[in-house]
Structure 1
Amino acid sequence: MPGNDPDVLAAELFKTFARFEYALKAAEFHKGEGAAEANWRRFAESVAASFEVPASEEFAQAIAYMLANPPKKQIVEGGVLGWNASAPQTDLQSDRVLIYVRRVRNNLFHGGKFNGRWFEPQRSAVLLQHSLTILNACLAASPAVSEAYHNEP
């Protein structure tokens, strides 16, 4: 696992997330015909048990942190950028946590957490580390996705 440098962690998350999303689609966790979109909900359902009884203390801590300190969603309100702590509308813990992982990625990719400098660099590093832990634990919990992730396309 990379250290706690947000720049290094962000690069690792982008790389891991992109390959992970490819692997979801390659392992048939997609939304069907048309645009190739990963079906994160169906994947969350398939790995739900691993979130209820995490295989490692690191994974358990990552889940607990994400649920207790979820990443916020960037919004525009009254013409001003801000943050909203809106909870995802889902009844499944694995789905909620994976939505939070995607929110971390989206905040990075769309410029919510970095604009020439890191906003809240310590918190960002923790969210990035936990997101990587969660994605890696999901690979371990899903042989089909792991095989697609580790094989060349």
Structure 2
Amino acid sequence: MAKLPEEKKPLTIDMGKANRLPPRADELMRVVTRFEYALKETGYGVMRNGAVEANWDKFANEVLKAEFLQRVRDKKIAPTILSNPPSRQFLGGSTLDWERKVAPNSIQDFIGAVRRVRNNLVHGGKSGDPDADRNASLVAEAIEVLFEALRSHDDLRFMFEGKW
């Protein structure tokens, strides 16, 4: 019979890095999570790999359209995302790296950049993060863009707010 290891004192986990998020990052996570729920409930879902996912591109192209992007520009809701969007992390061989992205010109690219703000926080690991100095602005702008989208679609807002 195998010998079990002797009881050891539990190791304390240092949460310092995990807790070092930009202001409002936790709010962005909650907003995106609820937004994706609302998208799926209002017919903007798609099956991928056996699971239902929010179809952001369809929503951007069919509902928001170019007019939304122009409104965001006119109201100056997301100047950082529009002029210097978040970078994209990729794997170059066995090395993590970051790709600078060009300014979005279409509503689909713009909403993709908004989503990338959240994706970088969750999946990017923030290793060598080239956006560190502007993450607070990116997060705040992403939240405001999503709120503006909710204001432009009553059914989506209804589902987001849970008013059924």
TM-score range, shorter chain: 0.7 to 0.9
Instruction: Pick 1 or 2: higher relative contact order, CA cutoff 8 A, min separation 6.
Output: 1
Aligned residue pairs total 142
Contact in 2 for aligned 1:30/1:37 (Cα 8 Å): yes
> Which of 123, 132, 153 in structure 1 is aligned with 2:143?
132
Stretches of structure 1 that go unaligned for 5 or more consecutive residues are: none
Higher helix share: 1
* Residue identity matched to 1:16: V
Change (3 A) 1:26 1:94: same
In structure 2, C-alpha distance between the alignment counterparts of 1:65 and 1:120, rounded to whole Å: 11
Distance in 1 (alpha carbons) for counterparts of 2:100 and 2:73? 28
Q: Deviations over 1:73-99 (max 9, x none)?
A: 1112142211012459x9x72211110
Do the aligned partners of 1:108 and 1:114 also contact (CA within 8 Å) in 2? Answer: no
Root mean square deviation, CA, Å: 2.9
Matches within 5 A, 1:39-78: 39-45=55-61, 46-48=63-65, 49-54=67-72, 57-59=75-77, 62=78, 64-78=79-93
The residue aligned with 1:100 is 113
What residue in structure 1 maps to residue 51 of structure 2?
Answer: 35
Distance 1:114 1:130 in 2: 22
Q: Which ranges in structure 2 are unaligned for 5 or more consecutive residues?
A: 1-19
What TM-score results when the alignment is normalised by the length of structure 2?
Answer: 0.73
| CA distance, structure 1, for counterparts of residue 100 and residue 42 of structure 2 | 32
Indicate how the Cα distance of structure 1 residues 132 and 23 shifts in structure 2: closer, same or farther if over 3 A, else same. Answer: same
After TM superposition, the score normalised by the length of structure 1 is 0.78
